[in-house]
C-alpha cells in the first residue's frame, strides 16, 4: 500500500496539470470535472509502466487516487452548475 500512495503522490501534479489543460481548452460542465480527473488519473497510472515495477492493478489504483486527490474527493458529491471557461 505504501508503494501505491507514493506513486499516487508522484502522479498527482501530472494529473492536476492535465485536468487544468482540459478545463482551459474545452468548455466542460463543472459537475463532470471530478469524473474527468479520475479517468485521467487511471489512464496516466496505467501508461506509467516504464517508471515502476508495480503491477497494473496497483498502478490503476494509484492513478485513481491521484485523480481523486487532484480535484478533491468532496467535489464528487457536491452539486455544481455551469461550465468552465
Per-residue pLDDT reduced to its tens digit, 14-43: 998 898 899 889 988 888 888 999 999 999
38 in a structural domain: yes
Query: Rounded CA gap, 5 and 23, in Å?
Result: 26
Question: What is the tally of structural domains in the chain?
Answer: 1
pTM for the complete prediction?
0.80
Q: Domain residues for 68?
A: 2-76
CB neighbourhood size of 71 (10 A): 20
In a domain, 14, yes or no: yes
Q: Is the pLDDT confidence value at 77 over 60?
A: no
Is residue 82 in some structural domain? no
Residue in this structure with the C-alpha cell 501505491, named with its chain if needed: 4
Q: What is the pLDDT of residues 43-62, one digit of tens each?
A: 999 998 888 888 999 999 99
Amino acid at each position: 500500500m505504501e508503494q501505491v500512495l507514493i506513486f499516487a503522490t508522484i502522479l498527482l501534479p501530472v494529473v492536476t496539470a492535465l485536468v487544468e489543460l482540459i478545463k482551459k481548452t474545452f468548455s466542460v460542465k463543472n459537475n463532470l470535472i471530478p469524473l474527468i480527473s479520475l479517468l485521467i488519473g487511471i489512464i496516466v497510472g496505467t501508461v506509467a509502466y516504464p517508471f515502476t515495477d508495480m503491477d497494473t492493478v496497483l498502478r490503476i489504483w494509484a492513478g485513481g487516487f491521484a485523480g481523486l486527490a487532484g480535484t478533491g474527493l468532496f467535489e464528487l458529491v457536491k452539486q455544481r452548475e455551469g461550465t468552465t471557461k
